[in-house]
Structure formats: structure tokens, C-alpha cells
Amino acid sequence: MKVVTLCGSMRFANEMMRIALDLELNHECAVLQCSYNIDNIEINPIKLAKSHMRKIDMSDAIYVVNINDYIGESVRSEIKYATEAGKEVMYHENRQS
């Protein structure tokens, strides 16, 4: 079973929750998810980013939720981090580039 960290814009939070369930039920993945700030509490973005990078460290791969091919700056940095660490990068939607 492959361990994957989900990476994507919070604009796709609902979709990412559904995608995580699908990956676990139908694709034999154990998914480390994003931290969803559903209560909109004040957070330290540096602390949150460090936590997410640790999830990537523990994973075999990242799964990029790039709906309509959208990849924001934070996710771009996560892709770079994962690539430099030798992790597989999987995309929800096919990449042309």
C-alpha cells in the first residue's frame, strides 16, 4: 500500500476530501491529508507548512489535486520539495507539461 500526501488548494477542500476517500477505498493508498481549517481559526502558516512537509517526508508520493490544472504557489513549493526528496508526484488531472 502506497502512502500519499494530498496537496492542493484549499479552494478544492471538499473535492480533496472526496478524492482522499476514493484513493483509500479504490486505489490502495493510505492518505495523509491536509489540515482543513473549517473553523477559520488564526494559524501560523509557517508551522502549518512545516507540518505538511513532514507528511511529505513520511510519504511514498504526493497526490496533487490540480482541478482545471490549477496549481498555486504553495503547492508548487510542495511539488519541488517532493521532487527533490525523490518522491513520486501524481496528478489528479493529466499534466500537459
pLDDT at 41: 72
Bridge partners (DSSP) of residue 8 are 65
Q: How confident is the model at residue 23 (pLDDT cuts 50, 70, 90)?
A: very high
pLDDT at 35: 73
pTM above 0.85? yes
Digit-coded pLDDT (tens) for 29-71: 999 987 776 767 787 778 888 989 999 999 999 999 999 999 9
Residue pair 78/62 in contact by the 8 Å Cβ criterion: yes
Residue 50 sits at the vertex; the CA angle it makes with 45 and 54, to the nearest 5 degrees, is: 145
